[in-house]
Each structure stands twice: as structure tokens, then as C-alpha cells.
Amino acid sequence: MPRKKVNIPSSESVSRRSFLKNAGVAAAAFAIVPRFVLGGKGFVAPSDTLYIAGIGAGGKGEDDLAEMAKSSHVKIVAFCDVDDRQAVKSRKNFKDANYYRDFRVMLDKESHVDACTVSTPDHTHAVAAMAAIVRGKHVYVQKPLTHDIYEARMLTEAARKFKVVTQMGNQGGSGSDVRTLKEWYDAGLLGDVYRVTCWTNRPVWPQGVPTPTGKFDIPKDLDWDLWLGTSKLIDYNPAYLPFNWRGWWNFGTGALGDMACHIMDPVFRVLPIDYPSEVECSVSTVWSGFFQESSYDDSCPVSSIVHFKYPGKNGKPDIQLSWMDGGLRPQRPQELLPDEPMGNEDGGVIFEGTKGKMMADCYGAKPRLLPTRLMKEVTLPPQKLPRVPEGHYIQWVNACLKGYGNAVTSSPFDYAGPFTESILMGNLAIRSYSIRKKDDFPGRKKLLWDAKNMKITNFDEANAFVKRDYRIGWNL
Amino acid sequence: MKKQNPPASNSFTRRTFLKNTGLAAAFTIVPRFVVGGKGFLAPSDTLYVAGIGAGGKGESDIANFAKSGKAQISYLCDVDDRRAATSIKNFPNAKYYKDYRVMLDKEQNHIDAVSVSTPDHNHAVQAMAAMQLGKHVYVQKPLTHDIYEARMLTEAARKYKVVTQMGNQGSSGDGVRQLQEWYTAGQIGDVHTVYVWTNRPVWPQGIPWPSQKAEVPKELDWDLWLGTAPYKDYVEKLVPFNWRGWWDYGTGALGDMACHLVEPPFKVLGLGYPLDVECSVGSVYIDEFKRGYFPESCPPSSHIIMTFPERQGKSKVKLHWMDGGIQPERPEELGPNERMGDGGNGVIFIGTKGKMMCSTYGASPSLLPTSKNKEVTIPQTIKRVPGSADGHYAQWVEACLAGYGKMEVSSPFDLAGPLTESILIGNLAIRSYDLRKPRVGGRPDQFDYPGRFIKLLWDGPNMKITNFDEANAFVKRDYRNGWKV
């Protein structure tokens, strides 16, 4: 239900969607009426305006809405949040927008919107995005695209089926630097890449900790049941909101979910890879006492190392992709001088090829060849790939305005879906690693992945992590 | 000091016996048949051992010496009566002391050899005191707490001509000899990379020092237990085991397991001092964006990479150490369902022609793929130690009886010293990683970590990090007043 402030749009208000519909029916000639036909200087025609509804209005949601609104072609007409405290700033920023708590109610009532942003905790991404997509809304979904592998596959297919413009919120994917990395690779500076290593300093919040306990009153501003959404019903605990849900498997996706969409993005953008064929991991152990291994299975791990193998494509060698988090970092490339920094504080990526190596910071930023002196010695290839000067958000806005298939975005689900699946394979490995049977850990081995069928073929228990069960009443 | 049975003043020890025969000039050792009949153990065949540290590992070490049949446990020493109880029961004739200095002072003429099985921070002073009196020593791993101490003990062993053995019993095992034979026969070619990993620490690390003061148990001499360490109030759960996870006393996962796990590559490849070291450490977050800073505590997990120099036509070796649950990438030769190492611990050698793997103590050596184990037969060229790893104790007893320079042992300080130094360089890297300075112009809670994310260059002969001087604080710590090595 709309809450507190309800501005039902006046019935004569002409949204872009209804305008286009009518224009289509009445005239059949143009897909879009040129804006000069309708109005004078300073008038933005409805066909030039993207009506956006935001799902999740605090934190990253707040930023996302504010970024979209920077376009003069965007109108934030509605948004929702399950926690009024989180929505305060967005409500101040967009006084005319209708505010809801339940995205399902909002989507029903605000059927005229063109597009939705989804900036909620990870466990709600898929159902919220899917609800928008099946209504034909373009979607911008925060990273990681989904919580589970299966959900990522479903969203990717739905985006194609419903022909909506999609973008995952890994904004570094629109950066210039990642395009530079691709130009270097395409120019053959690295030869064939056979190994890539990525790392992050995340988690920068406690993980590997016991499940929070205790009874707490649900804050009056929060709809806890809606916040839980697809998750099984558990008691409210302040430990989860608004940020630390990231470290709990019920809701979040750990360090990989937080950062891999940024740090691994150059890998997937530069190299010819899609789904992994194998994954293995190791995870740092938490000891609660002398020889007492803790099993805090609800909590994501303190630190982990994951290795993925991608079969070579088009005659290229297999690619080994390694991921490290929680403070662990890869071996320094021998080309790096003892006092030269490796990546930056957030993390980094190193590509190793048959002819050379390159390194970048988080988001693929600051690309450099290794050894770094090559940056002066080598003639770098000319800029060849188009840049995205308008940025990740506006790129999506403009693509939505042009309509499905008429413009590219940097992280459409065709790209972001398989990419997210890979990241979530890491989590599947981590969770399999913790499966305990008496004193044995049967999941501590190399897991073989049948990507087409989304199935681990040599350890069936792992498949529980491909698709979780939703609470009754929720489905994709 | 509960129990004191002073040996009868006319007790005839091997040492005084040898001294006298020495004066008589004919043999260094009187053959046992000259002295007695069947079943008689001649003094020259008996090693009189004093044990410093009688509980836990000390308890089993002492029992193992006695099992050789050639050692008599004459003296026991422990700062904690509770820990000594079993050993006192096992060796009712052994005289019990609390302070090793008193014991060595009073009983030096009745002791041939000393076993040191105490917390790491007291190894060096205790072993040195024994060696200076000319006693052979068996010292638990890691040999010492600091790099400098390891160097000093290694030199002292040569100077005082005593028989030495570090307590990494796997070095007497068959496994490391099998690995050596495969390597020497060229089965894996030139080794350039080694991965070593352990599930240790299997106790909490990366935690704050317990602030709650506790009462010192009446059986424990806390001041003596502290020994060289800075004075601190007694806290619960530090003794008898968890001292391992605190830098003032222990040496973390490396100290606990690296002497067992790094020994095979160190021995097989003939590694010496490393050239450089880098590390990363598992971080601890106590709240959102709030990183725990517990520099007294060893880390929950670490990944250390050292480079060892070229040796006689052999290429440099990168040695990776991973602890706290993290493990190396599985070799592609290992089947998806095959166990790597022993699951929690192991070693992988990667050479130009092949790979080999073992678990803790060099046990379960295996070529990779494991199918090769059936195909490859290399003749045994290296003598095995009777009893394999379990024979480590008797080997030292025999070597002590034979006298310095007469018999080989598996882990003399000439090997164990440099091995321990290498391991402790890992700790130096970890501790350098945690050094912090207030950020210039920053908020009070902002720090820079100048020892982080760089490669530390090591000048082995001079025991010095050459590109980050603050790291050298970890080469040699300051002892509490009144203690020196």
C-alpha cells in the first residue's frame, strides 16, 4: 500500500508509455514522435522521458536513484522501501514521487512506469527484477545480479523474452580503463591469456561469526516480513540491517557478491569466456577453542580462495581464474618491483598471458603492463573501442529511451547473467566446502560443473546451492 | 618442589666415567662387554638425560628417550607441577626441579644431555645454557622463537661440539627419503615451486589479548614461565597450550607445523636462506568497516611466499606457505575426488618434469598423477632410520652416546637452524604486515601500513631486511631484564 504520502498521478498526465501506445495506435507512422513536434525550448516530451520506479531507496538505492535523476530525461515517479528510515533521503530528494513499502503493490499501482531500479539486499533482487521484467519494464539491478545461480539464469532468459533493456549496477563496466585493457589484449600485447588472479580486501565487516540470537522488537519503521521476502521466516535481529546482511548466506553473497562484479568484470569483458567447467576453493577456518572448529554455516567465511577453470574457446588455452578475499592476496608478479604497489586497497586483477602481463586496480582502474616500465617502452595501441562518457547510469537511461535492441549497455543481462553465475559458483564451492558429515568434509574437492544443466556432477549435495527454496508465497 | 631424590653421591654417571677413563687414556668408550655380563647396562651405554619441560610434548619426548633403552631420565624440570605430574610418575627416580637454571647449576656433573620442550620463547636460553655446559641437546620445534636465536644456537652447537637434534621427528621418516630418491633420480626435473599448507592454527588467533586478570595457579611459577618474555599479568587459557597463538611466546601456525612440513622441501632441494619474502594475512573485522588490530595475536590465516636462491645449476624456488584453512590450487594431475595431502596439511613439489606430494612429516609420499606410484621404481639409495620417524629420539640418544661428530642425526642444528630461520622469516613478514603508523594528515583512526603489500628483501648472512628497516625488529626481540642467550 502507498504510505504516508500518496500522489496519485492525475488521470490526464501523459506518461511516455501511454503516450507511445496511443501514438502507435493512432498514427502508426513513427515509433517516437520527434520532440520538436510537441513543444518548444525547455520542454521535454513524454517520449523523451523515462519514468522510473525504484525498488530499494536507501544506501545504494538512494545513490542509484540520484544518479538516474541527473538525466533531464528521467523522472523518478515512485519508489519503495521496506524500511522508512532508509528512504528518508530519497523522499526528500523526490518529493513528488509516490512512496510504497511493497514493490509488488507499487508495480501494480504504477503500471505506467517505464523502468525500475532494484537496489535491495541480494536475496530479493531476482523476484523484484523478475516482477518488473514480466511487466515489460526495463531494469537496472544492483550487483550481484542475483543471490543464486538459477535466478541469474532465469533473469537472463526473461530479459530476452520480454525484450527489456537491462543493466547490472557494476558501474566500472562502463569505465574507460576496462576498455583500455581490452584494447591491449586485442592488440596481442599479452598473447594468449591462461591465468587471471583477482582479489579484494572484502569482507570489511565481520564474517565467520555465530548466528545472531536474542529477541528484539521490530522497529516500527521496518516491515521485517517484507524485508525477509524470499527468505525463511526468522526473528528480527538488528545485526542484519541495514548493511551486514551481506555476510549471511540467507540474504547476502559475501565478499564475492560485494566485489567480484567489480573486480572480475575486466576478466569477463576482455577475455573470451563464459561458464566455468570446474571450481575448487579453500576457506579459512574459525576456531572457537583449542581444536574446536566452529561451524558457523549461516555466516559467509572470513576469507577464501577460489579457483575456476574456463575451457579455452576458439583454439585459445584454458583459463584459470583465481579469487582471493578477506585480506589474502596473490603472489606478487615477478615483474613487479619490491616496493611497487600491487592493485589498490580494494583489490585488483592480474592477467597472465603467453607474451605478457597486465594489472589493474578494483573496477579495472589504472591499467598497467608489467613490468611497469613497459608503459613507457611499448607503443600502446590506439583507442579503438567506444567509451561511455555519459556513464553507466545514463547509458542505461538512454538505451531505455531508445528501446530494446536499439542501443547497447555495458552490462546487459546477456553479459551480467553468465558473469554473475560464475561469481556465485564460487559461493557454491565455499558452501560445499563447509558441508560436514561426522568428521568428514566430502565437499572439499574439485567440483565439476555442467553449466548447461546447472549441475555439479561429482558432488550432488552441492546442487542445493544452485537454487534455494523460497518461502511460501514467493516465486520467480 | 614436591619431590627431590638427590642421586647418591657415589652415583656413577657416564660423564664422570668417561672423564676417568679419559684420564686413563686408552679408549674413549669402554666396550660394554669389558665391564659387565649379560643384562648389565654399562655407564658408557647410558645417556643421562635431563628434561626441561615435562608436560605435553615434554612428557612424550622424555618417554621416547627412555624407550630407546639407552637413556636414563635423571632429572625433570617444569614450571608447572600440574604438567609434570605424569612424568614424575613415569620416572620416580628422576629428581624434579622447577627452574632449569638451578637444575643445570646443581646437576651439571650428572647430566649428559638435555631435552628442551617448553614454550617457544624459552627454547633458546634453555638450549644455550645446556650447550654452554657441553650437554647434548634435543630441542622441540621450532628450534627458537627468533631468527637471531636460531643462528646463535646453530653456531653454539658447533662451538661446543655437542650432538643436536630438533624435534621434527618426520625428518627421520622414510617419506622424506623416498622423496629425495625420486628427486635425485630426476623424476620431477628441476623444482621451481613448492606449496606447503596446514590446517593450523587449530586454536583461536586474530583475537584481542584477554583483559581479565586471573589468579596464578599455586602449582605454576608464572614468572619462570614468562622467562624471557615481557612481564604481563597472568590470564586464563594461555597455558598450557594457547601461548602458541601469541607472539610474545609462540610462533603461530608456522612455528607449530612448518618444521614438519617445510622440512621435506628444505632437505630434498637443499634450500638455504631465502632471498625475499612477501605475505598476505587474513583480516579480522570486528564491525562494519572496522578492522580489528590485534598485533599481539598471530593471524587467523596467512599466505607467505619466499624465494630461495639458485643452487648448483638448480633454478630458484618459490615456496608458498598457507595456513588457517586456506590451501593451494589442486594440481591438475590430481583427480577431482582425490585427497590433496592429508586433507588439512601437505606439500606439493612442482618440477619441470613432474610433481610430487606428501602429507605432514613427509608421510605418504606420492608422485603425481598418483598412478605413477605403481609405474616408477627407483632403487633405495638412502639409508632409513630404524623405526622411521619414531626412531628420531633413539637416533639422537645413540649419537650422543657415540659422541660429537661420530654419527649422523636427521635434524642437527646445522640443518634445523637454517630451516627454523626460514620459517621465522615468514613470521617476520606477518608481523611487518601489521606495523602501522598514523596517517600523515589523516584522522586519528587512519593508519598507514608501510610493511604491507611489498616484498621484503632478506640478506641471510647478515640477518637483515634491506628494504624495510622496521622489519628488523623481528629478527631479535628484547628479553626481559636478567635473561640473555
Which pLDDT score is estimated for B289?
A: 87
Q: In 10 A of CB A33, how many CB atoms? A: 17
Q: Which string of DSSP letters, residue by residue, matches B177-215?
A: HHHHHHHHTTSS-SEEEEEEE-----S--S-PPP----P
ipTM for the assembly: 0.85
- For residue A108, the distance in angstroms to the closest alpha carbon of chain B comes to 36
Q: What percent of chain B lies above the pLDDT cut of 90?
A: 86
Q: Which of B283, B304, B439 to mutate to test the interface with A (most CBs of A within 10 A)?
A: B283
Checking if the pLDDT of B30 tops 50, the result is: no
Question: Which pLDDT band, with edges at 50, 70 and 90, does B39 fall under?
Answer: very low
Q: pLDDT tens digit string along B333-392?
A: 999 999 999 989 999 999 999 999 999 999 999 999 999 999 999 999 999 999 999 999
Question: Which pLDDT band, with edges at 50, 70 and 90, does A44 fall under?
Answer: low
| Nearest neighbour of B202 by CB, restricted to A287, A307, A339 | A287
Checking if the pLDDT of B2 tops 60, the result is: no
Q: pLDDT tens digit string along B414-456?
A: 999 999 999 999 999 999 999 999 999 999 888 999 998 899 9
Checking if the pLDDT of B36 tops 90, the result is: no
* Interval A295-300 mean pLDDT: 93
Contacts of B280 in chain A (CB under 8 A): 324, 327-329
Q: pLDDT tens digit string along B40-90?
A: 455 578 999 999 999 999 999 999 999 999 999 999 999 999 999 999 999
- Residues facing B311 on adjacent strands: B314
Checking if the pLDDT of A35 tops 70, the result is: no
Checking if the pLDDT of A46 tops 70, the result is: no
The residue in chain B having the minimum alpha-carbon distance to the alpha carbon of residue A343 is B453
| Nearest neighbour of B282 by CB, restricted to A284, A288, A336 | A284
Contact A417, A156 (CB under 8 A): yes
Checking if the pLDDT of B114 tops 70, the result is: yes
* Interval A285-307 mean pLDDT: 90
Which pLDDT score is estimated for B253?
A: 97
Which pLDDT score is estimated for B42?
A: 52
Q: pLDDT tens digit string along A210-239?
A: 999 999 999 999 999 999 999 999 999 999
In this structure, what DSSP letter does residue B254 have?
I
Which pLDDT score is estimated for A47?
A: 72
Q: Which of B277, B281, B285 to mutate to test the interface with A (most CBs of A within 10 A)?
A: B285
Question: Which pLDDT band, with edges at 50, 70 and 90, does B11 fall under?
Answer: very low
Q: pLDDT tens digit string along A400-431?
A: 999 999 999 999 999 999 999 999 999 999 99
* pLDDT mean across residues, chain A: 91
- For residue B335, the distance in angstroms to the closest alpha carbon of chain A comes to 8
Name the residue with higher pLDDT: A5 or B156.
B156
Contacts of B327 in chain A (CB under 8 A): 282, 305
Which pLDDT score is estimated for A295?
A: 85
Contact B440, B180 (CB under 8 A): no
Question: Which pLDDT band, with edges at 50, 70 and 90, does B399 fall under?
Answer: very high
By mean pLDDT, which of B10-19, B253-262, B316-325, B338-347 is the weakest? B10-19
Contact B456 A338 (CB under 8 A): yes
Contact B410, B172 (CB under 8 A): yes
Which pLDDT score is estimated for B43?
A: 58
Contact B336 A448 (CB under 8 A): yes
Q: Give the H or E element holding residue B351.
A: strand B346-351
Contacts of B448 in chain A (CB under 8 A): none
| Nearest neighbour of B201 by CB, restricted to A282, A287, A331 | A287
Checking if the pLDDT of A110 tops 60, the result is: yes
| Nearest neighbour of B288 by CB, restricted to A244, A304, A307 | A244
| Nearest neighbour of A287 by CB, restricted to B204, B281, B454 | B204
Checking if the pLDDT of A7 tops 50, the result is: no
* pLDDT mean across residues, chain B: 92
CA dist B331 and A323 (Å) reads: 17
Checking if the pLDDT of A165 tops 70, the result is: yes
The model carries a pTM of: 0.88
Contact A293 B202 (CB under 8 A): yes
Which pLDDT score is estimated for A45?
A: 55
Which pLDDT score is estimated for B13?
A: 52
| Nearest neighbour of B242 by CB, restricted to A203, A290, A320 | A290
**SS3 for chain A, per residue?**
CECCCCCCCCCCCCCHHHHHHHHHHHHCCCCCCCHHHHCCCCCCCHHHCEEEEEECCCCHHHHHHHHHHCCCCEEEEEEECCEHHHHHHHHHHCCCCEEECCHHHHHHHCCCCCEEEECCCHHHHHHHHHHHHHCCCEEEECCCCCCCHHHHHHHHHHHHHCCCCEEECCHHHHCHHHHHHHHHHHCCCCCCEEEEEEEECCCCCCCCCCCCCCCCCCCCCECHHHHHCCCCCCCCCCCCCCCHHHHECCCCCHHHHHHHHHHCHHHHHHCCCCCCCEEEEEECCCEEECCEECCCCCECCCCEEEEEEECCCCCCCCEEEEEECCCCCCCCCCCCCCCCCCCECCEEEEEEECCCEEEEEHHHCCCEEECCCHHHHCCCCCCCCCCCCCHHHHHHHHHHHHCCCCCCCCCCHHHHHHHHHHHHHHHHHHHHHCCCECCECCCCCCEEEECCCCEECCCHHHHHHCCCCCCCCCCC
Checking if the pLDDT of A14 tops 90, the result is: no
Checking if the pLDDT of B20 tops 50, the result is: no
- For residue A276, the distance in angstroms to the closest alpha carbon of chain B comes to 15
CA dist B278 and A336 (Å) reads: 12
- For residue B149, the distance in angstroms to the closest alpha carbon of chain A comes to 27
CA dist B315 and A445 (Å) reads: 31
Which pLDDT score is estimated for B25?
A: 40
Checking if the pLDDT of B16 tops 60, the result is: no
* Interval A98-115 mean pLDDT: 97
Residues with Cβ within 8 Å of A57's Cβ and at least 6 positions away in sequence, in order, are A65, A79, A80, A81, A86, A87, A90, A91, A99, A119
Q: pLDDT tens digit string along B273-316?
A: 999 999 999 999 998 888 899 999 999 999 999 999 999 999 99
Contact A326, A302 (CB under 8 A): yes
